[in-house]
Structure 1
Amino acid sequence: MAPATISTPHYLLDQAKRRLTPTPNTLPGMGAVEKRLREKKWDQFVFSQPPAGSGLKPIIGDSGLPILGHMIEIFRGGPDFILDLYHREGPVYFADSPALSAVMALGPDATQAVFSNRNKDYSQRAWDPVIGPFFEGGLMLLDFDEHMFHRRIMQDAFTRTRLTGYIPHIDSVASKVVANDWVADDPRFLIFPALKELTLDIASEVFMGHPAGTDKELVTTINNAFTTTTRAGNAIVRKPVPPLKWWRGIQARKTLEEYFNSRIAEKRRTESTDMFSVLCHSADEDGQTFTDDQIVSHMIFLMMAAHDTSTSTMTTMAYHLAANPEWQERLREESERIGDGPLDIEALEKLETYDLVINEALRMMTPLPFNFRQAVRDTDLLGYFIPAGTNVVTWPSINHRLPELWTEPEKFDPERFSEPRSEHKKHRYAFAPFGGGAHKCIGMVFGQLEIKTVMHRLLRQYRLELASPTYRPRYDYGGMPVPIDGMPIVLRPLR
């Protein structure tokens, strides 16, 4: 896609007015920051000069603001800023940053080139400075043969038989919490923290084997440690300096390691349906199993991945169902057909309209909007020269908002995923909320079943309404997108 000249998008102007206009409490020079954000006057340079005669193109880049780079724009604008960058600079552009300097690989073709990784040019090592200290050894951070070895063993935890066994646990926790613990008719009820607590409770039972309501103090400690590790990757100061966020994340990781190590022997002695036990007994076709340390690392990563992505998706669904009551009624009518009895995988698979709404929520607010890779050798990306060691960041979330792929991409329209429209099929990576290639999310089906279970129970119990007719959520994009105000939603009891 050729670079295009467009006007400064409204979201940057609004941010400059709202957050960067000098006041008695702002830092000196913030007026200059606002001016540069408005005018986009960054000093560009050549990041990579291709070898003579290679026929490859050099990559152009910039350093953004002094010291801050583009952190303000990414944290506050997220995909909006990246989408604007794609339109202005094209599919391959270098952005210097104090957090992680990287080549931006933007658009569906660049996403496909990086995710397919046909020549194994890209490794997962770019994640190391972002979340490495907290999720070391997790499946997403492994490469090539080692990754495939671990994935083959772990696949046993996500077979249909295993998923069938998890659903009663998910349902029992969701039914209890939604019916008894959530606050009805309160415009101050915040759906995001409520869902986050619920998905952590589900993960505690399904992953760790703690029945809901037992070992409350221990479960609270472990859940708090997961929350701390997850948010530590957003730290500005990325050194273990007490009591700052990066240091707290490392301490939380130690807490999680101690917990899982203390229970491995017991889990290996007996078999149960929780995922911790499954990983302790899983083997590949050659009988190879995980070591204790590998199990600990996988449990820490899986717990994080399982609850954060589901929380984000359900929060987005709750907002759009409240804002679009006709879709809420369509889901409720579908839920009516399977009733209030215990759920199983066959019943959940009948909730086909839920699939459309889940996909649209994932498209509009992708839980993991970006993916990191690192070039292991000199290579090319869409004809641009990528030197060995270069960090490369894909943003599948901007593909989800391209008008050449999606009709009115800013509109909530789940029908776009149904036949005959099938807009998600216009390009192999038009829709990629779960990544792609060898690292496509292994827990994708589990997450969809969890979301269906929770939202089914929620819609059988309540009608969702916006706290006010004019309410629009605003997000912090420092990691996974998080609604800054917690997303107030009113729950009106149906009975």
Structure 2
Amino acid sequence: MLFEGLELVSALATLAACLVSVTLLLAVSQQLWQLRWAATRDKSCKLPIPKGSMGFPLIGETGHWLLQVFSKIFSHEALESYLPKIQLVIQDTLRAWSSRPEAINVYQEAQKLTFRMAIRVLLGFSIPEEDLGHLFEVYQQFVENVFSLPVDLPFSGYRRGIQARQTLQKGLEKAIREKLQCTQGKDYADALDILIESSKEHGKEMTMQELKDGTLELIFAAYATTASASTSLIMQLLKHPAVLEKLREELRAQGILHSGGCPCEGTLRLDTLSGLHYLDCVIKEVMRLFTPISGGYRTVLQTFELDGFQIPKGWSVMYSIRDTHDTAPVFKDVNVFDPDRFGQARSEDKDGRFHYLPFGGGVRTCLGKHLAKLFLKVLAVELASTSRFELASRTFPRITLVPVLHPVDGLSVKFFGLDSNQNKILPETEAMLSATV
């Protein structure tokens, strides 16, 4: 009896200790998030994160003129000029993937691809390949330590993040200075060009530090979420070969693919892409089922009531994108990958204003959403028209949601080169082994 009593006391003590630990953890987490929120709005803060407001940190700190600048950066005209450069970057990347004898880690390679796109296309930097590879490694170290504990000790994540940011800014400053000195041979205005010229038009000559911060923010905004969505797109095309074939049929019908299979030259323009309705449905379904970011934060500007609950002015609230997509009554069979749900016959996303919001909603919707969708559409077209790829593992990997949605093992895939009829080109040794005698 005494032994049972001691066991009960021990169990209660353990439970109490666990509750205290959880309470302390929640309190510390809340304080850290408040510190992070304050840090993003304090330009003198040394935390290893971009400054400004969460999401697109520069906005809100530099005034309405910057909103106008970003509207130019992501305008129809700007996207039209980015398109051929984006296509070239994706084509070069897919050729590199296909030339490898081994399988690739899609998520890691997608991160490199989106980083390259931001550097080469969005910012127009002519950084040598070796330097670009080193800059990517430093950037990864920076990103991995963005949400580190703000404790400045040797070998801490915080210290590594600070050092990575300093190294990044040195590399970016060098690239910016070279870009400012070399203005010849440009056939389009990239995002950094627009940022510099627009600031001059508004009488706000940007300092080098502001240019470095703006450059880092543009990379930050284009990097993780686009890599996540790109990986999800490839995984779903692998899982659903019928969707990939239907996409190829649409490309043939629109003159982007010859009937024999090889891609037509010079056919990819914004108006061409906007006419690919099934492609649009595929991208929408990827973003519905595999939204890279779980949700967003907002500050309540005016007290309001929601489902009988009063939400006071000044509160910070969070909305969940994934829960919204999972529970929205307009979507049928929410766990099924079904691009046709967005087709004209069903148009499930049209029955309500905020049932589908992969890029957020309202006045704070993602400013770069059109560039992200353009990138994904070009990637899908190139995958469908120039690539053959197979899953290199026995099963598809489990998905994790932190820090953004991605496969736990990165998704191992083998890419193959293609001949003019879209047949896989096997390495010589494999071709010999498979030949009949």
Instruction: State the TM-score, normalizing by the size of structure 2.
Output: 0.77
1:295 alignment partner AA: L
Tell me what 1:407 maps to: 332
Tell me what 1:224 maps to: 137
**In 2, are the aligned partners of 1:264 and 1:280 still within 8 Å (CA)?**
no
CA-CA distance at 1:375 after TM superposition: 4.8
Secondary structure, aligned partner of 1:392:
strand
Tell me what 2:5 maps to: none
* 1:314 maps to 2:245: no
Which of 427, 436, 448 is the equivalent residue of 2:361? 436
Instruction: Identify the structure with the greater helix proportion.
Output: 2
CA-CA distance at 1:445 after TM superposition: 1.1
1:274 alignment partner AA: D
**In 2, are the aligned partners of 1:140 and 1:439 still within 8 Å (CA)?**
no
Which of 96, 110, 113 is the equivalent residue of 1:198? 113
CA-CA distance at 1:366 after TM superposition: 0.9
2:122 alignment partner AA: F
Which of 359, 375, 378 is the equivalent residue of 1:453? 378
**In 2, are the aligned partners of 1:473 and 1:487 still within 8 Å (CA)?**
yes
Q: Specify whether residues 204 and 263 from structure 1 end up closer, same or farther in structure 2 by C-alpha distance, changes over 3 A only.
A: closer
* 1:395 maps to 2:320: yes
Q: Specify whether residues 450 and 487 from structure 1 end up closer, same or farther in structure 2 by C-alpha distance, changes over 3 A only.
A: same
Secondary structure, aligned partner of 2:326:
coil
Q: Distance in 2 between matches of 1:185 and 1:444?
A: 35
CA-CA distance at 1:182 after TM superposition: 3.7
* Deviation digits for residues 388-427 of structure 1 (CA, Å, limit 9, x no counterpart): 6643222122111115231111110111112232222233
**Contiguous gaps of at least 5 residues in structure 1:** 1-28, 37-41, 44-62, 70-95, 104-123
* 1:427 maps to 2:340: no
Q: Name the count of aligned residue pairs.
A: 387
State the structure with bigger RCO (CA 8 A, min sep 6), 1 or 2: 1
Q: Distance in 1 between matches of 2:94 and 2:136?
A: 19
Q: Specify whether residues 392 and 133 from structure 1 end up closer, same or farther in structure 2 by C-alpha distance, changes over 3 A only.
A: farther
Q: Distance in 2 between matches of 1:266 and 1:242?
A: 34
1:231 alignment partner AA: E
Q: Specify whether residues 198 and 284 from structure 1 end up closer, same or farther in structure 2 by C-alpha distance, changes over 3 A only.
A: same
* Deviation digits for residues 274-312 of structure 1 (CA, Å, limit 9, x no counterpart): 322232222597565644433322211111211222211
Q: Specify whether residues 126 and 215 from structure 1 end up closer, same or farther in structure 2 by C-alpha distance, changes over 3 A only.
A: closer
Q: Specify whether residues 468 and 490 from structure 1 end up closer, same or farther in structure 2 by C-alpha distance, changes over 3 A only.
A: same
2:166 alignment partner AA: K
CA-CA distance at 1:338 after TM superposition: 1.0
Matches within 5 A, 1:463-482: 463-467=388-392, 471-482=395-406
Secondary structure, aligned partner of 1:434:
coil
* 1:175 maps to 2:87: no
Which of 9, 13, 29 is the equivalent residue of 1:98? 29
Q: Specify whether residues 249 and 98 from structure 1 end up closer, same or farther in structure 2 by C-alpha distance, changes over 3 A only.
A: same
**In 1, are the aligned partners of 2:291 and 2:358 still within 8 Å (CA)?**
yes
Q: Distance in 1 between matches of 2:202 and 2:404?
A: 37
Q: Distance in 2 between matches of 1:65 and 1:215?
A: 49
**In 1, are the aligned partners of 2:277 and 2:343 still within 8 Å (CA)?**
no
2:172 alignment partner AA: F
Q: Distance in 1 between matches of 2:354 and 2:155?
A: 41
Q: Specify whether residues 250 and 374 from structure 1 end up closer, same or farther in structure 2 by C-alpha distance, changes over 3 A only.
A: farther
1:257 alignment partner AA: Q
Q: Specify whether residues 379 and 290 from structure 1 end up closer, same or farther in structure 2 by C-alpha distance, changes over 3 A only.
A: farther
Q: Percent identity at matched positions?
A: 25
* 1:253 maps to 2:165: yes
Secondary structure, aligned partner of 1:218:
helix
What RMSD, in angstroms, separates the aligned Cα atoms of the two structures?
3.5
Secondary structure, aligned partner of 2:366:
coil
1:379 alignment partner AA: T
Q: Specify whether residues 143 and 177 from structure 1 end up closer, same or farther in structure 2 by C-alpha distance, changes over 3 A only.
A: closer
Tell me what 1:363 maps to: 288
Matches within 5 A, 1:211-290: 211=126, 215-235=128-148, 237-268=149-180, 271=183, 272=186, 273-283=189-199, 290=206
**Contiguous gaps of at least 5 residues in structure 2:** 1-10, 258-262, 424-437
Larger Rg: 2
Tell me what 2:434 maps to: none
Q: Distance in 2 between matches of 1:464 and 1:415?
A: 23
**In 2, are the aligned partners of 1:321 and 1:464 still within 8 Å (CA)?**
no
CA-CA distance at 1:443 after TM superposition: 1.3
Q: Specify whether residues 321 and 148 from structure 1 end up closer, same or farther in structure 2 by C-alpha distance, changes over 3 A only.
A: same
Q: Distance in 2 between matches of 1:303 and 1:181?
A: 23
* Deviation digits for residues 203-250 of structure 1 (CA, Å, limit 9, x no counterpart): 221133235xx5123212322233223232343x34333323233222
Q: Distance in 1 between matches of 2:245 and 2:204?
A: 49
Q: Specify whether residues 345 and 353 from structure 1 end up closer, same or farther in structure 2 by C-alpha distance, changes over 3 A only.
A: same
Q: Distance in 1 between matches of 2:173 and 2:88?
A: 27
Q: Specify whether residues 435 and 403 from structure 1 end up closer, same or farther in structure 2 by C-alpha distance, changes over 3 A only.
A: closer
Q: Specify whether residues 435 and 481 from structure 1 end up closer, same or farther in structure 2 by C-alpha distance, changes over 3 A only.
A: same
Q: Specify whether residues 436 and 125 from structure 1 end up closer, same or farther in structure 2 by C-alpha distance, changes over 3 A only.
A: farther
Secondary structure, aligned partner of 2:318:
strand
Q: Specify whether residues 216 and 492 from structure 1 end up closer, same or farther in structure 2 by C-alpha distance, changes over 3 A only.
A: closer
Secondary structure, aligned partner of 1:489:
strand
2:256 alignment partner AA: I
Q: Specify whether residues 169 and 102 from structure 1 end up closer, same or farther in structure 2 by C-alpha distance, changes over 3 A only.
A: closer
Q: Distance in 1 between matches of 2:378 and 2:310?
A: 47
1:438 alignment partner AA: V
